[in-house]
Amino acid sequence: MNDAEKSKLEQELTKAAPVINRLGDGPSVLPDHVRARLNAALDKKFPLAAQPASQEPAAVRKTTVEREQAEPSWLEVWRWWIGLATATAAVVLVLVLNRPGPNLPPVIQVAMLDSVGTVRGTGEKPLDTLQKQWKEVKPQEFDDAAKLKSWQEAWPAGSKQTVVKVLYDRDASELRLTVRVKGRPTVEKTFPVKQGQELGSVLPSVKATIEQMVAP
C-alpha cells in the first residue's frame, strides 16, 4: 500500500470513526437486526473498522473524541427538534382556542313580524326574499309582538361569536338590525322600507352594514 492509499484510508476511517465508536459505546438504540446489518455494511466498506479500537490509528481516536466533545449526537439533535416542534404546536393551539370572537364568523338570525299575514296581496313573499339573502338561515315568522320579544331577547349564552338579529317588521315598514359583539355594547340600526318599495332593494345595504359592524 503506497502513501496515497494510506492517506485515503485514514480519511475514510476518520469519517467512519464516529459511527463505529457510537456502535460500541453503551446500549444500542437500534434493533438487533438493524444493528447487525449496519455492522456488516460497515465491515464491508471499511475492513479496518472491525479491528479492535487499540489497533486504530491514534490520530483517528483523538479526532473522534474531539468531534464528539464539540458536536452533539444525532439523538440529541432530534430530541431538540422534536421538543421545538411540540412547543410550537402547543403555542398555535393556544392561539386558536383563544381567538377572540370578532374573528369568528357571525351568527345570523332572521325573523319577520307580520300581524296581517297573506291579506297584503300577491308578489314574492318577504320570507322568501330574506331566505334568498341569507341562504344558510331559516327565517322565523311571528304574528304576535309578545312572541317576537322572546326571540329578540334570546342570545346564545357564553358564545364568543358575534350575533346579528335581522328583523323585518312588516307592520312598521322597517327592517331593524341588532348586533352584539363580545366585549362591545349592543348596536341597533333601522332601515325604512317605504310603501311600494321592494324588500330586496334594501337588503344589499343591510348586508354591507352588517359587515362593517362586525369587523374587528
Sorted by where each starts, the structural domains of the chain and their CATH numbers stand as 3-97 (no CATH), 101-214 (3.40.50)
Cβ atoms 49, 42 nearer than 8 A? yes
Encoded amino acid at 198, one letter: E
Cβ atoms 162, 102 nearer than 8 A? yes
Flag whether pLDDT at 104 surpasses 50.
yes
Express each pLDDT in 10-50 by its tens digit: 776 666 666 555 555 555 555 676 667 767 766 766 665 44
The C-alpha atoms of residue 41 and residue 50 are separated, in whole angstroms, by 11
In which band, very low, low, confident or very high, does the pLDDT at 68 lie, cut at 50, 70 and 90?
low
pTM beyond cutoff 0.75: no
Which residue has cell 457510537? 22
| Distance from the Cα of residue 123 to its chain's centroid | 46
